[in-house]
Amino acid sequence: MAKILYLSPEHVSGGLTRFQKGHRARGHECRFVTFYPSPSGFPEDICLRLPLMPDSGLIRQLKRMVYRGAPHMQGQVDLPGYPPVWRSGTAAEAVFFYLRDRLISGAVGRAVRQYGLNQYDVYHLDQGLDFYRDARFVRAMKARGARIVCFYHGTDLRNRGVIPEVDRISDLNLTSELDLLAKHPRLRYLHLPFDVERFEVKTGESDPLIIGHACRAPEARHFKGTDRIIAVVKELEADYPVRLDLVEGVPHDEAMRRKARWDVAVDQIADRGGWGYGMNSLETLALGLPTCTRMNPECDRFFAGHPFINVDPDSLKSQLIRLIENPQWRRQKGVEGRDWVWRTHRLDAVMDELYAHYQAAGIRLEPS
């Protein structure tokens, strides 16, 4: 039995719980540590509630001020490099991370001793982050023979860059965002794990039909093309028996209650916050909903046979009209979507994929 520990600033989409379940089902010990509580209400394992983290309103305000002149940190442009590398942009930023590392060291040290966090065989760093910006913890774990795995999300590489001290010692680098593969020479693709069986397929349809769209927060609308989606559905409301349900800035439980009432889902049409699809689309596919998202030519090739209805700002209206006017096609796409997400993203299939990556990287799941 190996011991596997996930470190993550926050529990974003339920993935930490799923990976923990998958590892334990294969006979390994697995825990996850988060730096601050999930704002979406996902469950915690070991939550340190560290100060001066991004969940703080003060820190959010400071970031807006400090990065006002840094378009890559505002998601407007991608950081160059292969891979892009994080560097302290200003003296103030360097001082902030130095002081924060000193401030949190007591709480981190106590957690390490209380939970034996320094006694694991494999460390997964979500977002490629250690507790400390200088990566002192994982450097020490690597020195004692542990293996280091990084999982990168979109903004981690597009706008922040790898932490050099982490990137130098990582044994395996993973992502579930296709466009990031071109940003790091040692990055491998891993499908998102998903508990398909937890979702009941919707039976029957609403009257009027509910066309749903979910966005994390108003400031994230740019990344999904939300304003264009709203405008298109509002136009359709004048001519067809449909209504828009915009799920925005609400806890995950409430979001799921509302999604369960949808008849058609629209994920994104902009390709600005990542290509193709993510957890939001997996949820609507698992509910048996025909799901629209933008699948550029590279996504179409990589995810050959996917069930998505391909849309962009120009084609969204015509594709929605086709769905509205063709109930048989709606049902067909719903069935195809549920089947595809089962075959591609169910937990045991993704764990097979992860363990194949382990093997290729020389990571043996045996105690050190």
Domain borders along the chain are 3-193+347-360, 197-345
Per-residue pLDDT at 325: 98
Distance (Å, whole) CA 184 – CA 168: 13
CA atoms within 13 A on the CB side of 186: 13
Structure tokens at 103: 């401030």
Q: Which CATH architecture has domain 197-345?
A: 3-Layer(aba) Sandwich (3.40)
Distance (Å, whole) CA 13 – CA 43: 10
Domain 3-193+347-360 has what CATH class? alpha beta
Q: What is the pLDDT of residues 185-244, one digit of tens each?
A: 999 999 999 999 999 999 999 999 999 999 988 988 999 999 999 999 999 999 999 999
Contacts of 53 (CB under 8 A, 6+ apart): 9, 35, 36, 59
Per-residue pLDDT at 64: 62
Distance (Å, whole) CA 46 – CA 48: 6
Q: Are 269 and 231 in contact (CB under 8 A)?
A: no
Distance (Å, whole) CA 142 – CA 355: 20
Q: Are 303 and 340 in contact (CB under 8 A)?
A: no
Q: Which of 13-17, 109-113, 181-185, 225-229 comes out lowest in average pLDDT? A: 13-17
What are the C-alpha distances in Å from 18 to residues 9, 32, 82, 296, 345? 17, 11, 31, 28, 11
Mean pLDDT of 308-336: 98
Phi then psi for 97, rounded to 5 degrees?
Answer: -65, -35
Helix, strand or coil for residue 30? strand
Higher pLDDT residue, 159 or 368?
A: 159
Distance (Å, whole) CA 152 – CA 159: 12
Q: Is 197-345 in the same CATH topology as 3-193+347-360? A: yes
Tell me the whole-structure pTM to 2 decimals. 0.89
How many percent of the chain have pLDDT more than 70? 93
Find tokens 């909903």 and name the residue. 289
pLDDT over threshold 50, residue 72: no
pLDDT over threshold 80, residue 308: yes
pLDDT over threshold 60, residue 71: no
Structure tokens at 230: 């709203």
| Beta bridge pairs of residue 122 | 4, 147
Contacts of 284 (CB under 8 A, 6+ apart): 212, 259, 262, 265, 267, 291, 337
